[in-house]
Amino acid sequence: MSLFDSLVVSSLPLVPKGVVKRFASRYVAGETLEHAIAVVRELAAEGAMSTLDVLGESVTRREQTEETRDEYLRALDAIHASGLPANVSIKPTAVGLSIDRALARANCAAICAKAREKGTFVRLDMEDSPFTDATIDLALDLQAEFGDVGTVIQAYLRRSLKDLDRLGAARMNLRICKGIYVEPRRLAYKDRQVVIENYGDLVAKHLSAGCYTGIATHDEACVQKALAVIDRLKLPRESYEFQMLLGVDPLLRRLLLESGHRLRVYVPYGRDWYQYSVRRLKENPSISRHVIRGMLGMGPSAS
């Protein structure tokens, strides 16, 4: 990212929420479950599966975590009633991991019990490094009790190849992504090329171990590495899926679907859209520039 882009991105917190919302709407399905199901239906018509994420993270009150849990229970009912190809992804801090591990476990257990009843898979998203161990432990614990539970591994973390030993032994369904949080160099690779190499190694290791893998990226270099592994191992389509975020690179999404790969779109919804949307805008300096121009009342820029 250029110095100018970094400046633009670091100015985002100064932008009024109303302006951010206008530009962020492409990344979020809407504020209600009905909005989310409508987007899942459109994606299904394209041939894509979805995973629903109820927005809300870094919560401080127990009642907030219970509201989020209840919204997941409603989402699981709605997915089942619609017959659409979707599952759910949960941010552990949204259900209490930063307040009390037992609270997060209880909320997740309620969601996993409902998911098992409805025949739906549950994934724990991976947040920043203070939560890595707790999230892996929670995912393994829930998988042991409920079965169809997975989590996420981040290619920027130095520890991730090692974590795969334990998760591969448990045959856990893993999403592999680069990682989005700001981490110290002590813990995370900082060089883009090294992260891509590690991404390829992680995908190869988990697929070679015979474990279902969610290949979550919009980076053609990572997609190419994954495709090479899939080809080398002659894997059937049912043993992996590509995953992409709502609003990001619909052309790549179409190309992967047209090539016959399974693909799932991450569909966030809810009233707490702000933190998630700002993370997405930070990944996209050209949109961030539009946002700043929007705040300053300037017309659209050329880029």
Catalytic residues: 125, 175
Contact assessment for residue 303 and residue 286, using Cβ atoms and an 8 Å cutoff: yes
Per the DSSP assignment, residues forming a β-bridge with 203 are none
Compute the least distance from the CB of residue 179 to ligand FDA, in Å.
4
Provide φ and ψ at 46, rounded to 5°: -80, -15
The DSSP string of 208-244 is HTT--EEEE---HHHHHHHHHHHHHHT--GGGEEEEE
Q: Which of 64, 168, 249, 293 binds ligand FDA (CB under 6 A)?
A: 249
Judged by CB under 6 A, the chain residues 26 through 85 that form the site for ligand FDA are none
Which of these ranges, 42-50, 99-107, 140-148, 172-180, lies near ligand FDA under the rule CB under 6 A?
A: 172-180
Site pattern 107..126 for ligand FDA (x: CB under 6 A)? ------------------xx
Compute the least distance from the CB of residue 222 to ligand FDA, in Å.
5
Q: Which of 20, 108, 202, 245 binds ligand FDA (CB under 6 A)?
A: 245
* Cβ-based nearer residue to ligand FDA, 149 or 177: 177
What is the Cα 245 distance to its own chain's centre? 7
Residue 262 binds ligand FDA (CB under 6 A): no
Which of these ranges, 113-121, 176-184, 231-239, 295-303, lies near ligand FDA under the rule CB under 6 A?
A: 176-184
Residue 216 binds ligand FDA (CB under 6 A): yes
Residue 225 binds ligand FDA (CB under 6 A): no
Residue 177 binds ligand FDA (CB under 6 A): yes
Residue 218 binds ligand FDA (CB under 6 A): yes
Kindly state the helix (H) or strand (E) to which residue 49 belongs, with its residue range.
Answer: strand 49-54
* Cβ-based nearer residue to ligand FDA, 96 or 179: 179
Residue 154 binds ligand FDA (CB under 6 A): yes
Compute the least distance from the CB of residue 152 to ligand FDA, in Å.
4
221 burial level (CB within 10 Å; 0-12, 13-18, 19+): middle
2 burial level (CB within 10 Å; 0-12, 13-18, 19+): exposed
* Cβ-based nearer residue to ligand FDA, 117 or 155: 155
Provide φ and ψ at 298, rounded to 5°: -90, 160
Task: Using DSSP, state whether 98 is helix, strand or coil.
Answer: coil
Closest of 93, 200, 92, 104 to residue 151, by C-alpha: 92
Which ranges of the chain does DSSP label H, i.e. alpha helix? 3-10, 17-24, 33-46, 62-82, 101-118, 132-146, 160-169, 192-208, 220-233, 250-258, 274-282, 285-295
**Who contacts 48 (Cβ-Cβ below 8 Å, separation ≥6)?**
253, 257, 263, 264, 265
Compute the least distance from the CB of residue 166 to ligand FDA, in Å.
18
Residue 201 binds ligand FDA (CB under 6 A): no
Compute the least distance from the CB of residue 234 to ligand FDA, in Å.
25
Neighbours of 187 (CB within 10 A): 13
Binding site for ligand FDA (CB under 6 A): 125-126, 152, 154, 175, 177-181, 216-219, 222, 243-245, 248-249, 266, 280, 283-284
